[in-house]
A and B are shown apart, each in its own frame.
Chain A
Amino acid sequence: MKPRIAFFDMASCEGCQLAILDCEDVFLHILDLVDIVEFREALSEKAPRFDVAFIEGSINREIDAERLRDIRARCTWLVSLGACACHGNVQARSNALSPAENLQRVYGPEACHVAQTDSQYWPLWAHTRVRAVHEVVKVDYHLRGCPVDRDEFLHLVKRLVAGSLPRFARQPVCVECKHNGNECVFEHGDTCMGQITWGGCDAICINGGYRCDGCRGLLPGVNLDSHRALLRERGLSDTDIDSRYRLFCSADVQPRGTRP
């Protein structure tokens, strides 16, 4: 029997699911290897059990956390799909603000007042923190990036089908950037997060002439002090640096625990 895989979305733009549907040229071959049993972006069926669950999105409400625990109980392998699931992504920037300040910024002072006094809105307050998937349940593998890299997805599916361990190199973006022989972003006066960011994306943004903004999250154990000092030398203020680090919450909200 073919392994059954399922996709679920939490707080996200669903772009990672689209990135997977982008495997058009090999999608029919993937269906020879696995059965997709639940996939809201592409399928209306639901399934009681599955072998691999891909979770896209961050956990913002307690109701999402409950749904996630239920999914975890129904699968063998659970995979965080994309930056939101892996480290919270842009929405986790609200973690740096108090809930009241956050509501006021988004909805204005009047709406903020109503939300605080009308009990109908109190469930909004039940969550105070945007969480990554591994902060709620055990995660077996992380597929990083905003959006995920389709080749990494294919690699993981192939390895799970073959019954071998997938390999996600624990190395910064610089490695793949040098593999491609690119001109270093610092060489033409810009600044880059490549040195401190998980690789695996084939340095796609630098290949295309842009810089790395760190969407794949902070590589564990990197020399963050040195990186901040370098950005200061290149003329960035501490406010600018914090803003760059917080864009994808890469350096601000570090995933805890061991990361496969």
Chain B
Amino acid sequence: MRGFLTTRATVLDWLHTLDQLGDVFFPQPMGESSFRFDKVRKHSLLAFEDFDATSTEKPFRASTCVQPPGKKLSPNNEQIFHFSKNENGEYQLTPTLDDRQRILAGVRPCDLKAIHLMDRINSDGIPDAHYLSRRQNTTIIAHDCLQPCDQHCFCDATGSLRWREGADIFLTPQPEAKLLIEALTERGEQLLADAGFTPCKNIEGRKTLAEAQRTKPFGRQFNAPLQQVIDTVSNSGESPVWDKHVERCFSCGTCNLVCPTCYCFDVQDDFNVDDPDSGQRTRSWDGCMLEAFAVVAGGHNFRPQLAARQRHRIKRKLAWLPARFGDGSFCVGCGRCGHQCTVDIDIFDIANDLLATAETKP
């Protein structure tokens, strides 16, 4: 596949031109110090926030978006099907499939790996047609991170820092505000064909240059190799660590709802007020930390204790799904849950605490 070398400003201008192909999404500043993965509009100010701080008056603080890019593939309150009555008075169901073209740009390696894991999840068993329809019509432009984006980041520890699979185009920061642009798929090749960027002859050399600039160690590191973390979490049934980390928890579900690999949902039917014979089924994001998550018919709750719900969440990320799919950690180390939690409960600390308790055991 081909590679090109050009300036960041040129790439950002090029992103603006891509809206002819479909909606383009890119991280954009929100509030005081946050980012929203939002649609690029004509006057949107775009910047690669963590390595392009010189280009705007207000310095960007490097940070992930509150909601990960992958959520664009399974949006909240998504319509699954709509129903109406035909001439014979029978109800007819029509599935809602979104096949519009969209481009997710400015995706970090952690979120890229998360999208790969969601591809696995949604193709497993009965494929999720709604997710896959969006995914098949989505082009992903990802970029490398040479510095940790956030003090909560631990993507290197979970093995997602060097993730490339799933990206159509991959950008690597270079000195002098330049970018190395690589097409990783046919779709990426086609997109770059008419862009007019200068071809790069020494792709490997450029990559080595970037690697030399990468912060080492990169972000937070577990106190043991990843496989040992996964083994420890898998073997931690009863542990005081689960109770310790829920003392201050509000059970608010924030950690679930900002997680790029949380995909649980709740469905609801509703009829239209202007035509009660028609309506739709929608699904909305749910979270296993919420009290009502495991309530079943008859009112029984399988996990009424907060510590049990916390253990469930951590085991999904670092034990059960890694064992089920063999694709490494389902926690991609983006640090969102720890960052967004108002009482600083962090999956990274829980994993390290479990490691420490496992070591002291006789």
Q: Which residues of A contact B (CB under 8 A)?
A: 26, 29-30, 33, 154-155, 158, 161-162, 167, 169-172, 174-175, 178-179, 181-184, 186-189, 194-196, 221-223, 226-227, 229-230
Provide the bound-state CA to CA distance between A94 and B347, in Å. 44
Residues of B within 8 Å of A227, CB to CB, are: 250
Tell yes or no: B1 within 8 A of A by CB.
no
Q: List 25 A-B contacts (CB under 8 A).
A: A26-B273, A26-B274, A29-B273, A29-B274, A30-B273, A158-B273, A171-B252, A172-B253, A178-B67, A178-B254, A178-B257, A178-B258, A178-B285, A179-B76, A182-B66, A183-B34, A184-B340, A187-B32, A188-B33, A194-B252, A223-B249, A223-B251, A226-B248, A227-B250, A230-B248
Taking the closest CB of chain A, its distance from the CB of B149, in whole angstroms, is 15
Give me the interface of B with A, judged by CB distance under 8 Å: 30-34, 36-37, 65-67, 76-77, 247-254, 257-258, 268, 270-271, 273-274, 276, 284-285, 287, 290-292, 340, 342-343
| B interface, over-half SS | loop
- In the complex, what residues of A have CB within 8 A of residue B271's CB? 158, 162
| Interchain CA distance A186-B34 in the complex, whole Å | 12
- Is the pair A172, B252 in contact by a Cβ cutoff of 8 Å? yes
A189 cross-chain contacts in B, Cβ below 8 A? 32
Are B273 and A154 in contact (CB-based, < 8 A)? yes
- B258 cross-chain contacts in A, Cβ below 8 A: 178
Report the Cα distance A158→B67, complex, angstroms. 32
Taking a contact as CB atoms under 8 Å apart, the answer to whether A183 and B342 are in contact is no
A143 to B254 alpha-carbon distance, docked (Å): 24
Q: Which listed residue, A174, A179, A221, touches B252 by the CB 8 Å rule? A: A174
Residues of chain B within 8 A of A29, CB atoms compared: 273-274
CA distance A212 to B37 in the complex (A): 24
CB < 8 Å A-B pair total: 102
Nearest chain-A residue to B37 (Cβ)? A181
Q: How far is the CA of A69 from the CA of B284 in the complex (A)?
A: 39
CB closest chain-B residue, reference A157: B273
- Given A158-B273, A226-B247, the answer on whether A186 and B342 have CB atoms closer than 8 Å is yes
Contact for A178 among B34, B253, B343, CB less than 8 A: B253
Interface of A is mostly: helix
| Cα-based distance from A161 to B271 in the complex (angstroms) | 11
Which of B273, B284, B290, B291 lies at the interface centre, i.e. has the most chain A CB atoms within 10 A of its CB? B273
> Which residues of chain B have C-beta atoms less than 8 A from A195's C-beta?
250, 252, 342
Once the chains are docked, how many angstroms separate the CA of A171 from the CA of B33? Answer: 27
A194: which B residues are within 8 A, CB to CB? 252
Q: Which 4 A-B pairs have the closest CB atoms?
A: A183-B31, A178-B257, A183-B34, A174-B252
B268 touches A167 (CB 8 A): yes
- A183/B30 in contact, CB under 8 A: yes
Complex interface: chain A residues within 8 A of B253 (CB): 171-172, 174-175, 178
Q: Give B204 Cβ to nearest chain A Cβ, in Å.
A: 38
* Contact present for A229 and B252 (CB under 8 Å): no
Chain A nearest CB: distance from B191 CB in Å?
27
A170 and B291 form a contact (CB under 8 A): yes
Nearest B residue to A229 via CB reads B248
- Closest-by-CB residue of A relative to B253 is A175
Residues of A within 8 A of B37 (CB): 181
Instruction: Find the A residue at minimum CB distance from B38.
Output: A181
A181 touches B67 (CB 8 A): yes
Tell me which residues across on chain A come within 8 A of B76, comparing CB atoms: 179
Identify 9 new A-B residue pairs, CB closer than 8 A, beyond the known A174-B257, A175-B253, A183-B31. Answer: A29-B273, A172-B251, A172-B253, A179-B284, A182-B66, A183-B30, A183-B32, A184-B66, A187-B34
User: Of A29, A33, A175, which is in contact with the most chain B CB atoms at under 10 Å from its CB?
Assistant: A175
For the complex, give the distance between the alpha carbons of A184 and B337 in Å: 12
Q: Across the two chains, which residue of chain A brings its CB closest to B270?
A: A158
Residues of A close to B268: CB separation below 8 A: 167
Q: Which residues of A contact B340 (CB under 8 A)?
A: 178, 184
B290 / chain A contacts, CB cutoff of 8 Å: 171, 175
Taking a contact as CB atoms under 8 Å apart, the answer to whether A223 and B250 are in contact is yes
A174→B30 CA distance, assembly (Å): 17
Contact partners of B65 in chain A: CB under 8 A: 181
List the B side residues contacting A171 at CB < 8 Å: 252-253, 290-292
- How far, in angstroms, from A70 to B212 measured CA to CA in the complex? 80
* Alpha-carbon separation in the docked complex, A236 to B197 (Å): 55
Would you call A230 and B343 a contact (CB within 8 A)? yes
A33-B276 contact given A171-B292, A187-B34, CB 8 Å threshold: yes
